[in-house]
Structure 1
């Protein structure tokens, strides 16, 4: 198991549980409270204008509610921008679950997501299924759905080089799965993440 997939150390997890994220109204929510009562897939995306992450989230949004309910699981997103972008992000991606903002990056760091780069999938490595656009197409998509569509959010989208990751937490103060991105197209496949969470897709 690589470092990118190791579970957070207990001390790091306990510190993370006490940190706060912001909801769509700007209210602070303690991170640990999000999954205190239920197993939760928590996907840390990159900035809110990132076209690749938007494509990935659209895959997550297609997971049937019935499949999640049957597994006693929910999906939550956390982005590194500011809370004012959350409503826009939900509308853009069609994601129906809770989305939070964590612009300080303290939570990212606490959980080991300390890489920042804008690299694409390395040469010779298979691209993830959600990566359906080439570089220029993705850049244009990011601009079109970001600054052009929502100019008032420029500067609120988050750090363009911050990488995210995919985790499974709860119920309670436990983490059972971790995957930290190494480049901008490195979210774990949505189907594999759902399998790890015990969500059956047909």
Structure 2
């Protein structure tokens, strides 16, 4: 769990919206409970698959629980519009390219390691096929299709995490990714946020 002092410090870090404007991270969850998913780089096909499934959480269920879902990536804000289009996620997406926010919240692991051999791959990756196929699709949908975003996707080794914040400076759930396929299963994350569907 993120302690109060770390969250206080993190709350003051600026994030960028899709137009390049900044807001303090803390304002995102100042007045309501928010599920915040920190992704890896904006070209990561594994995270895109996760966000696509996150986008399918019914709006009615979120509304009933008074919960919002927000996505934050470690790349530049110019990549946000492409990311939203690619994932079908219509909620708020922000960028934090300095990764100060990531580190403030304990996401200081950098690796390209996948799911360990003795563990099962998460269900959100079932539709992506093999790792090779996923890598090829990520390359095609990312730098090859959008060369102007090359270098703006964020650090490829940065891992993210899944959190439930708010209202106010409160963290009720946190999960730090340990490898590149380690987002929390969506049903579990929604359960921690009090969202049922």
Report whether the alignment pairs 1:63 with 2:65. Answer: no
Match of 2:179?
183
Report whether the alignment pairs 1:169 with 2:165. Answer: yes
Which of 129, 133, 138 is the equivalent residue of 1:142?
138
CA distance in 1, matches of 2:35, 2:53: 14
Instruction: Give the 5 Å matches for 1:1-202.
Output: 7-132=1-126, 133-201=129-197
Q: Which runs of 5 or more structure 2 residues have no equivalent in the other structure?
A: none
Structure 1 runs (4+) deviating above 4 angstroms are: none
- Report the alpha carbon displacement of residue 149 of structure 1 after superposing the two structures with TM: 1.8
Q: Which runs of 5 or more structure 1 residues have no equivalent in the other structure?
A: 1-6
CA distance in 2, matches of 1:91, 1:197: 25
Q: The residue matched to 1:69 in structure 2 has which SS?
A: helix
TM-score by length of 1: 0.95
CA distance in 2, matches of 1:119, 1:127: 13
- CA deviation string 1:163-196 (max 9, x = no partner): 0000000011111000000000000001110111
Match of 1:3?
none
Does the aligned pair in 1 maintain the 2:4–2:169 contact within 8 Å?
no
- CA deviation string 1:74-118 (max 9, x = no partner): 000000000000000000000010000000000000000000000
Does the aligned pair in 1 maintain the 2:29–2:168 contact within 8 Å?
yes
- CA deviation string 1:19-50 (max 9, x = no partner): 11000010111000001111000000000000
